[in-house]
Structure 1
């Protein structure tokens, strides 16, 4: 059985998908880009501001499911330039404890709305 997780504190889905889906003890969150949930617009300020917004969006989805970053087991990071890898790592790393999740990072040609970074997660209660 699956349950959709929704929160107004993170951007609404811009297509036929859920912000996140819980099945059993697992939470699968759709990729988050740097959309400010209050405005529905991509945040200005480059890779630093976008990575912060993405992580805050993920934080809100986790909270809506009663979880936090310590529950995250796996992430996938999509970036439009490997030149941003170190910057994304520095900001991303602040959100996790001494045992960060497993992770993949992939450079892509482009992301929705012209975003520079997108991150999806899998978490477990």
Structure 2
């Protein structure tokens, strides 16, 4: 059975999908944009600011399930330019300092809403 996860503490989905779903003890978080959950706007124009907002949004979504970043087992980072890899890595490392999940990072042609970064993840509930 698949359970949908929705919280007002993270940005609403910008399309016909769930913020996350739970299946067999794993939480599959959809790609999170750097949107402020209250305003729906992207705060900040730098990839560093946007990466922080994305990771705060993921943290808020996980907290809704009484989980945290240490429960994350895999992330995928989408960048509008691979040239920002080091800046994103710096901020990412502040959030995942001791616990380091498996990760992929790719450059894409465009990210919804003109964002510079998007991150999706998988977390383990047990």
Q: TM-score scaled to structure 2, two decimals? A: 0.96
Residue in 2 that maps onto 1:68? 68
Residue in 2 that maps onto 1:105? 105
Cα displacement string for residues 48-93 of structure 1 (whole angstroms, at most 9, x for unaligned residues): 1100000000001111111100000000000011111001001011
Contact 1:72 1:121 in 2 (8 A): yes
Runs of 4+ aligned residues of structure 1 deviating over 2 Å after TM superposition are none
Residue in 1 that maps onto 2:2? 2
Number of positions where the alignment pairs a residue of Structure 1 with one of Structure 2? 125
Please, which runs of 5 or more residues in structure 1 have no aligned partner? none
Rounded Cα–Cα distance in structure 1 between residues aligned with 2:31 and 2:40: 16
Contact 1:48 1:87 in 2 (8 A): yes
Let me know the Cα RMSD of the aligned residues. Answer: 0.9
Contact 1:47 1:88 in 2 (8 A): yes
Deviation at 1:99, TM superposition (A): 3.3
Q: TM-score scaled to structure 1, two decimals? A: 0.96
**What secondary structure does 1:36 align onto?**
coil
The correspondence of residues 40-119 of structure 1 with structure 2, limited to 5 A, is 40-119=40-119
Please, which runs of 5 or more residues in structure 2 have no aligned partner? none
